[in-house]
Structure 1
Amino acid sequence: MTRDGVPRTTTRSIAAEAGVSLSVFHYCFDSKQALIESVIETITGHYVTVVKEAIRPKATLRETIGAGFQAYWDHVSANPGEHMLTYELTQYALRQPGFEHLARRQYELYSDTYAELIEQLRHSMNFELRVPVPVLARYLAAMTDGLTLNFLVLGDDAAWADILDTITDHVAGLVRDEAPAAT
């Protein structure tokens, strides 16, 4: 799918490339919906792992945020076909009756992951936010989604380092200095 795109990928082509019979393929995936769901979950899970591994408290919150964005960005620039596939899968799911929930789940997973990471950092680095966690999580999902699509359309240029710095500064600015001490 990454190489040929969703519309040109067939169950026959997948089975042939995997070196298995169609019956084995259909034993593993009882429908195209099951296949699409598995692909979305696998790719999304991989992105989540990349960012989670990068989000470890650093000396400052800004460094921690920057490391997370940089890890995601490194993955995008190294794997543009995989990221393009996520957009194709989302569009495919939105256009196919009965598949819409797959696109919804994909974006819920993005927001849920950001919310989990935000909460982990809040507790380990002791800070408060200027916005509610669910709002910030959806904002981060939308922002990284737009950033990724922008890269896929415009390509790599020198501006991306400055863009990542701007995003990091903006997100760090949504944090209050420090949470009040427990009484």
Structure 2
Amino acid sequence: MSRMPSAERRRQLIEAAIRAMTRDGVARTTTRSIAAEADVSLSVFHYCFDSKQALLESVISTITDHSRAVVKEAIRPKATLRETIRAGFRAYWDHVSAHPGEHMLTYELTQYALRQPGFEHLARRQYTLYSETYAELIEQLRYSMAFEPRVPVPVLARYLAVMTDGLTLNFLVLGDDTAAAAVLDTIVDQVVGLAGEVTRPPAPGTDARTRG
């Protein structure tokens, strides 16, 4: 087994855990099976993670990062705020369509955490992380597209987390991508309405935070 930095080894184990849990379910996935999936010894797993709780928290954060990365890239300023917001939602939805098992795992992780004594805080952390992610993306849009939301950012962020969470579960159950896309467009229209008046976007290469 080749040596690698501990941070890289942790990432290797997290991605192995996601694959194993997506395939076998959270309850049936053990630390031993994760180590086997990552092709490392069990002692390496315990060196990187001191508990299953710590691993699951890292899994939740990593799955969220997967979606956040594609959305963050997609919401580079377009001609209009609506086009920019729609690009972000479309990127998220493309990720759902391409990785349904990974998104299904997020709901299983929630149920597992709520039912497992001592793990309840992981479910709360999971949904707090969703809202924090949307708040970060909203702030990115505020600076790049120069708009001020009609509602407080934390409220809008939580609203978006609730809407996309419900829509994602609905799609995973029904499998109707056309219907989901139509609902997504409705959400985009609602978000644009809540976004407030848009001023002229800053010039290319200008950070709106530095404008006077």
Length-normalised TM-score, structure 2: 0.80
Q: Which residues of structure 2 form unaligned runs of 5+? A: 1-20, 200-210
Deviation at 1:62, TM superposition (A): 0.3
The correspondence for 1:25, drawn from 45, 50, 62, is: 45
Name the counterpart of 2:170: 150
Contact 2:167 2:180 in 1 (8 A): no
Q: Which has the higher contact order (CA 8 A, sep 6+)?
A: 1
Of residues 84-93 and 72-81 in structure 1, the stretch that sits farther from structure 2 once superposed is 84-93
Distance 2:198 2:134 in 1: 20
The correspondence for 1:162, drawn from 170, 182, 194, is: 182
What is the one-letter code of the residue matched to 2:46?
H
What is the one-letter code of the residue matched to 1:35?
L
What is the one-letter code of the residue matched to 1:61?
L
Distance 1:115 1:21 in 2: 39
1:101 pairs with 2:101:
no
Name the counterpart of 1:91: 111
Deviation above 6 Å: which 4+ runs of structure 1?
A: none
Q: How many pairs were matched up?
A: 182
Distance 1:20 1:2 in 2: 19
Distance 1:68 1:75 in 2: 11
Contact 1:15 1:25 in 2 (8 A): yes
The correspondence for 1:13, drawn from 33, 36, 40, is: 33
Contact 2:131 2:158 in 1 (8 A): yes
Contact 1:57 1:124 in 2 (8 A): yes
1:141 pairs with 2:141:
no
Deviation at 1:138, TM superposition (A): 0.2
Distance 2:151 2:106 in 1: 28
Deviation per residue, 1:142-162 (Å, 9 max, x gap): 111001100110013422222
The correspondence for 2:71, drawn from 51, 61, 82, is: 51
1:3 pairs with 2:23:
yes
Name the counterpart of 1:174: 194
Distance 1:161 1:100 in 2: 33
Deviation at 1:175, TM superposition (A): 2.1
Distance 2:177 2:54 in 1: 38
Deviation at 1:12, TM superposition (A): 1.8
Distance 1:126 1:115 in 2: 15
Deviation at 1:44, TM superposition (A): 1.3
Deviation per residue, 1:13-42 (Å, 9 max, x gap): 112222222222222222111111121111
Contact 1:77 1:156 in 2 (8 A): no
Distance 1:21 1:161 in 2: 44
What is the one-letter code of the residue matched to 2:56?
I
Of residues 162-171 and 130-139 in structure 1, the stretch that sits farther from structure 2 once superposed is 162-171
Of residues 117-126 and 57-66 in structure 1, the stretch that sits farther from structure 2 once superposed is 117-126
Deviation at 1:124, TM superposition (A): 2.2
Length-normalised TM-score, structure 1: 0.92
When the two chains are superposed, the root-mean-square deviation of aligned CA atoms in Å is: 1.9
The correspondence for 2:83, drawn from 63, 75, 84, is: 63
